[in-house]
A and B are shown apart, each in its own frame.
Chain A
Amino acid sequence: NAGVTQTPKFRILKIGQSMTLQCAQDMNHNYMYWYRQDPGMGLKLIYYSVGAGITDKGEVPNGYNVSRSTTEDFPLRLELAAPSQTSVYFCASSYPPGPRGNTIYFGEGSWLTVV
């Protein structure tokens, strides 16, 4: 199993450009997440999905959009990139919550710089 795969790993965007961060998982997880990580700020949830066709906002959704057409894929779209979106983005997935809680598996991250 590859786990959670993100592309691209690094990207430089100009202000106002748009792009999509790709995320795929092969663990048959229903739940998928997008986090951003800024220095010293921990992980902030952008959007999450509990299954194909279902998405919901996290703590910091402004400036982003997501879709979930399949169980495996959960792309994150940045529209009109701004310098404030310079960050490291992590995609993650998990099984549904249950008696044992839900362990989250992270992708390797995508470093995005907006100039």
Chain B
Amino acid sequence: QQPVQSPQAVILREGEDAVINCSSSKALYSVHWYRQKHGEAPIFLMILLKGGEQKGHDKISASFNEKKQQSSLYLTASQLSYSGTYFCGTEPEGGSEKLVFGKGTKLTVNP
């Protein structure tokens, strides 16, 4: 089952914050976040495991609510370099050899 991402697109001005959500109808073991710039390969950002841990990298952080099977990616004080499409990939409980990716959220940061 493909996870559902929201919003589909968001436009920010430099310095503003954004939240991207990823929801699944299945019990999850982990949620992965990737960013893809136009014409390039997706780049790994972070993994969140079952247990509700929150992770952060610079001004990008994420949380995983295992009760809701939902993960949120937080981008604070956005920079121009944050522009791109963000994908979540979900791994079902019990583990799996493969991730199922959402359709992506296109983030545009303007000066």
Contacts and interface: CB of A to CB of B under 8 A. Distances in A.
**A and B physically associate:** yes
B44 A101 contact: no
B62 to A, nearest CB: 13
Given A41-B103, A43-B42, A97-B91, A104 B32 contact: yes
B91 A58 contact: no
Nearest to B39: A109
A58 B40 contact: no
B18 interface: no
A107 B41 contact: yes
A53 interface: no
Interface majority SS (helix, strand, loop, mixed), chain A: loop
Interface residue tally on B, bucketed by range = 20 to 34
A74 interface: no
Nearest to B49: A101
Contacts of B56: none
A97 B39 CA distance: 28
B44 A50 contact: no
Given A41-B103, A101-B32, A103-B32, A50 B97 contact: yes
Contacts of A45: 98-100
Among A43, A103, A109: residue with most chain B CB under 10 A: A43
A107 B36 CA distance: 12
B7 interface: no
Given A40-B103, A103-B47, A31 B97 contact: yes
A106 B32 contact: no
A57 B97 CA distance: 12
Interface string A40-79: 1111110010100000101100000000000000000000
B41 A90 contact: yes
Interface in B74-111: 87, 89, 91, 95-104
Contacts of A107: 41
B40 A104 contact: no
Interface of B: 2, 29-30, 32, 39-44, 47, 49, 87, 89, 91, 95-104
